[in-house]
Structure 1
């Protein structure tokens, strides 16, 4: 099992996840990041019109995934599709 961290990026501000979560497979973290982003989209309207992301990092600090907070907005695409 490996530890992954879910940071919140808003523009040039980064809120680091200090504890992370343990997952057996890295792919599961993509689902969790997407759900976090959807939750923020619904409950944090102050993040909707800003460049806000959930960033997934592995224990080595390498970014492995990003999920945009605007994920439910069809006009915008994910960072890997831009």
Structure 2
């Protein structure tokens, strides 16, 4: 069973593009919430992300992972694959 992956993004954000690139490289299906100009979407993201307002914000199985740097840190530490396969 593969994990449920969700990512909040802005369409032109380089960090969002980089984070999605890593997920695509790993052939991970994910749900993207593009919140460009979407105040309600941004508020929802912030509530789920413990007050964070920057993008991307990434969730795996409803657990807040963090942003681009955080998902790459998990990858470097060898922990991302186990999260994605849970």
Q: TM-score, normalised by structure 2?
A: 0.25
| Structure 1 or 2: more strand by fraction | 1
Q: TM-score, normalised by structure 1?
A: 0.25
| Structure 1 or 2: more helix by fraction | 2
